Amino acid sequence: MGSASLCFSLQNSCNASSATGILYDPPLGFRFRSRIRKIVRMSATQTENPRISFESLPIKPPSHPTYDLWGVIKSALSEDAGDRGDVTCLATIPSDMEVEAHFLAKENGIIAGIALAEMVFHEVDPSLKVEWSQKDGDSVHKGLDFGKVYGRAHSIVVAERVALNFMQRMSGVATLTKAMADLASPARILETRKTAPGLRLVDKWAVLIGGGRNHRMGLFDMVMIKDNHISIAGGITNALKSVDLYLEQRNLQMEVEVETRTIEEVDKVLDYASQTETSLTRIMLDNMVVPLPNGDVDVTMLEQAVNLIGRRFETEASGNVTLETVHKIGQTGVDYISSGALTHSVKALDISLKIDTELALQVGRRTQRA
């Protein structure tokens, strides 16, 4: 993750609502009881215990039947707070201090995770007020002040690292996705299941924010016949037959994709589909992009496979997909290009949260990071 820190220029806010006590919640650390007031969040007036409406977001998270996004946030806060809470804050920050901290982009990219960061701040302290000048999916440039959070200093510092960790990772994914999606056109870019454990929905949400499309969410929402399934089933035709029988017997309707690695396997799939009513919807063309010694790629095999399939099924290219190769792959006529690198090799976008923004910008200019 890119570095981020919080520098203080504290002021005692005498007119602000003061804390009436401290509450220790083991999953979250120390939190403040407060006199509740209505605040404006995400362009909607909500009361003490709002739950952000995903329907109001510019780019909604993908759906998942069992994923608990609030649970992920609580877990991230809990691992940070441990069983004592933020001992540095408790030792150094008076409970009645209120501050305003600003989000600064320290490099160019696509911002993502704004909605998730807001959820983190709310979970720590519902009285914190967060405002943004940008929204998820917008471009940011180095040195841009794109948002602020106001309220109790202790609460802001407790939430800071977790909020930034989510934002930096999601922004890194969105930035790479945007670059690949632009180069891949007219093909559409997909991620894979190569996501950080526990962050499946978060990573895939970031891909959507960057302008990509989601591949299957998990093992449950799409049949994807890969090389190991084919080997165990005794061949690609047997695997397709087994899937069609399974779906028919259970009266299930879902997308079905099969991985092919050779032109011969493509021919077998097409031959099976020409003789049988099948649920197959997409054919993956795996590692048909051949790297060359000069750093270029040969897409001849991929083009041949795409032409063989025609428009009978959707097509997806996989393997040897990089920023340098994705444009050439996208010109072959393939419908989708999937890249595990979008999420498994993400470089976080450098973002910081600062109170003394002038000093932060001075330091940033000195280190060429603002």
Please write the tens of the pLDDT for every residue from 232-263: 999 999 999 999 999 999 999 999 999 999 99
Active-site residue flag, 55? no
**pLDDT over 70 percentage in the chain:** 82
Do 337 and 218 belong together in one domain? yes
Strand partners, 282: 257, 314
Active-site residue flag, 226? yes
Whether 233 is covered by a domain: the verdict is: yes
Do 233 and 297 belong together in one domain? yes
Q: In angstroms, rounded to a whole number, what is the distance separating the alpha carbons of residues 361 and 145?
A: 10
Whether 97 is covered by a domain: the verdict is: yes
Do 202 and 119 belong together in one domain? no
Indicate which residue of 107, 160, 259, 350 is catalytic. 259
Active-site residue flag, 259? yes
Q: In angstroms, rounded to a whole number, what is the distance separating the alpha carbons of residues 193 and 175?
A: 19
Do 222 and 308 belong together in one domain? yes
Rounded mean pLDDT, 307-326: 97
Measure CA 214 to chain center.
10
Do 119 and 135 belong together in one domain? yes
What are phi and psi for residue 20, nearest 5 degrees? Answer: -105, 5
**CB contact at 8 A, 236 and 269:** yes
Min mean pLDDT across 195-199, 270-274, 283-287, 355-359 is at 355-359
Whether 282 is covered by a domain: the verdict is: yes
Per-residue pLDDT band for 94 (boundaries 50, 70, 90) equals confident
166, pLDDT greater than 50? yes
Indicate which residue of 41, 148, 152, 161 is catalytic. 161
pLDDT at 359: 61
Per-residue pLDDT band for 322 (boundaries 50, 70, 90) equals very high
Do 148 and 260 belong together in one domain? no
**CB contact at 8 A, 170 and 113:** yes
Whether 249 is covered by a domain: the verdict is: yes
Whether 197 is covered by a domain: the verdict is: yes
57, pLDDT greater than 60? yes
Do 215 and 140 belong together in one domain? no
Whether 19 is covered by a domain: the verdict is: no
Min mean pLDDT across 57-66, 163-172, 197-206 is at 57-66
Containing structural domain, residue 227: 181-345
> What is the reported pTM?
0.83
Domains identified in the chain, total number: 2
Indicate which residue of 33, 38, 84, 226 is catalytic. 226
Whether 54 is covered by a domain: the verdict is: no
**CB contact at 8 A, 52 and 122:** yes
78, pLDDT greater than 60? yes
pLDDT at 24: 34
Do 169 and 303 belong together in one domain? no
Do 296 and 211 belong together in one domain? yes
Whether 360 is covered by a domain: the verdict is: yes
Per-residue pLDDT band for 356 (boundaries 50, 70, 90) equals low
Q: Give the residue with greater pLDDT, 37 vs 144.
A: 144
Active-site residue flag, 286? yes
pLDDT at 366: 72
Domain harbouring 268, CATH code: 3.20.20.70
3, pLDDT greater than 70? no
331, pLDDT greater than 80? yes
Min mean pLDDT across 16-20, 116-120, 161-165, 179-183 is at 16-20
Indicate which residue of 118, 123, 286, 316 is catalytic. 286
Highest mean pLDDT among 48-52, 310-314, 360-364: 310-314
Active-site residue flag, 194? yes
318, pLDDT greater than 90? yes
327, pLDDT greater than 80? yes
Tens digits of residue pLDDT in 17-37: 333 333 334 333 434 333 332
Residues 6+ apart with CB under 8 A from 88: none
Query: Cis (ω within 30 of 0) for the bond into 186?
Result: yes
Min mean pLDDT across 91-100, 274-283, 346-355 is at 91-100
Q: In angstroms, rounded to a whole number, what is the distance separating the alpha carbons of residues 81 and 26?
A: 8
Average pLDDT of every residue of the chain:
86
Do 95 and 152 belong together in one domain? yes
Tens digits of residue pLDDT in 100-124: 999 999 999 999 999 999 999 999 9
Rounded mean pLDDT, 140-169: 96
15, pLDDT greater than 50? no
Do 213 and 145 belong together in one domain? no
Q: In angstroms, rounded to a whole number, what is the distance separating the alpha carbons of residues 360 and 355?
A: 8
For residue 14, the 8-state DSSP code is T
Q: In angstroms, rounded to a whole number, what is the distance separating the alpha carbons of residues 11 and 260?
A: 64
Domain harbouring 170, CATH code: 3.90.1170.20
Do 223 and 270 belong together in one domain? yes
Closest CA to 114 of 127, 99, 133: 133
